[in-house]
């Protein structure tokens, strides 16, 4: 289920970029407004994804249940591959940091204001 949300976030962000690029070709107001609304949806989805991660960390931070830390399969999911720092940084910002969703929503609102005046 969580992978579906992550893929949905990536697809929605990709679609919003496409709509922003289409604004240079045809009907800029509609394309920019569509991109803005898609970014709003992406922001909400990203915030939901980070809350889900918080539940996982709360589960495995229980020292009585896991005295030696989380199981290795959970640790590998969190750490990922240390030899791909750019991918890991992007993944961290998209799926684990709550402030990213807030910034996506703020950018969405700013784009919506621009679209209103086009």
> What are the tokens at 86?
């750019």
| Residue 75 tokens, joined | 């640790």
Q: Which residues are within 8 A (CB) of 71 and not within 5 positions of it... i.e. 6 or more apart?
A: 60
Between CA 12 and CA 10 the distance in angstroms is 6
User: What pLDDT was estimated at residue 87?
Assistant: 83
**Whole-number pLDDT of residue 14:** 94
Question: Is the CB of residue 43 less than 8 Å from the CB of residue 99?
Answer: no
pLDDT, mean of residues 3-11: 88
Residue 94 vs residues 35, 85, 103, 116, 118: alpha-carbon distances, Å: 18, 14, 11, 28, 30
What angle, rounded to 10 degrees, do the helices at 98-117 and 28-60 form? 170
Residues of the chain with pLDDT > 70: what percent? Answer: 75
- Which is more confident, 74 or 48? 48
């Amino acid at each position: 289920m969580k992978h579906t949300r992550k893929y949905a976030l990536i697809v929605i962000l990709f679609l919003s970029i496409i709509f922003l690029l289409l604004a240079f070709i045809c009907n800029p107001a509609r394309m920019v407004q569509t991109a803005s609304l898609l970014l709003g949806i992406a922001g909400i989805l990203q915030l939901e994804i980070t809350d889900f991660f918080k539940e996982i960390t709360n589960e495995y931070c229980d020292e009585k249940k896991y005295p030696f830390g989380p199981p290795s399969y959970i640790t590998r999911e969190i750490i990922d591959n240390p030899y791909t720092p750019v991918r890991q940084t992007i993944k961290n910002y998209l799926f684990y940091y709550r402030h990213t969703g807030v910034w996506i929503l703020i950018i969405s609102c700013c784009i919506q204001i621009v679209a209103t005046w086009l």
